[in-house]
Amino acid sequence: MENHKTFCPMPGINAGIFTLKDLERVSALAQKYEVPMVKVTGGQRLFFQGLEPKKLEALKQELSIPATPPHARNRVNYVQACPGKAWCDCATSATEPLTKALMDMELDGPLPAKVKVALSGCVRCCCESWMRDIGLTAEKKGWRLTFGGNAAGRPRIGDLIAEGLTDDEALELVRKTLNYYKNTAKPKARTARFVERVGIEEVKRNVLG
């Protein structure tokens, strides 16, 4: 059988959170379109992989997947999160409410490049928040927000923006930081390269007031 190097994300499944109905739908779609592989990605999403081109296009139409890439929309690419306090003894904060709020958050316009967000419910940082564009890590005194992390070919630890934040404060500061990035960064510039160019103090001056 020919190896088709194709993939298609399952919309609505983010941060590794899905219901029994989600699993049933994934199973039904995989059987309907004869999907060779369903993969859980590093970003905690589900991808259908290896479809024949015609079946891939049919699946995309059924799932109403837009032709534009995710970063062309006014949202982050994906949110990665640990189970949080509800499911992990190590966690100091719940992650589900903030995860959902970040996935639903709309920005002032399209982002310059893809933005990955990670939430870790404790300082053990299971979701590698330091290495994401936006990183949120729960400490006893509240959320710690970092910006400009990258785990690719030019890895970078994100810079601290603020700490001791409530859920609402963290969400609002993420919104301000990403809108500033949107308005200031060059097209296709990832946050790591953006922070290297303008400096973290300039970022903080603009988003912390």
pTM value? 0.84
Tell me the C-alpha to C-alpha distance, in Å, between residue 65 and each of 4, 16, 31, 51, 83.
Answer: 19, 19, 19, 15, 28
How far, in Å, CA of 90 to CA of 96, rounded? 15
| Sequence spans of domains, the chain | 7-62, 70-208
Task: With beta carbons less than 8 A apart as the criterion, state whether 81 and 99 touch.
Answer: yes
In the prediction, which pLDDT does 41 show? Answer: 85
Closest CA to 142 of 179, 117, 167: 167
Cβ count within 10 A of residue 170: 26
pLDDT tens across the length of the chain (209 residues)? 466 788 888 887 777 888 889 999 999 999 999 999 999 888 888 899 999 999 999 999 999 887 765 545 788 988 999 999 988 999 999 999 999 999 999 999 999 999 999 999 999 998 999 999 999 999 999 999 999 999 988 999 999 999 999 999 999 999 999 999 999 999 999 999 999 999 999 999 999 98
- 3-class secondary structure, 105: coil
Amino acid at 197: R
Contact 209, 179 (CB under 8 A): no
What 3-state DSSP class applies to 145? Answer: strand
- Strand stretches in the chain, DSSP E: 7-9, 37-40, 46-49, 78-81, 116-120, 134-139, 142-147, 159-165
Residue 128 tokens read as 């590698």
Residue with tokens 């969400």: 171
Give me the pLDDT at residue 2, please.
Answer: 60
Tell me the C-alpha distance between 62 and 43, whole Å.
23
Phi, psi of 7 (to 5 degrees): -150, 155
Instruction: State the amino acid at position 167 in one-letter form.
Output: D
Is the separation of the CB atoms in 167 and 143 below 8 Å?
A: yes
Q: Assign a CATH topology to domain 70-208.
A: Sulfite Reductase Hemoprotein; domain 1 (3.30.413)
Instruction: Label residue 28 exposed, middle or buried (CB < 10 Å: 0-12, 13-18, 19+).
Output: exposed
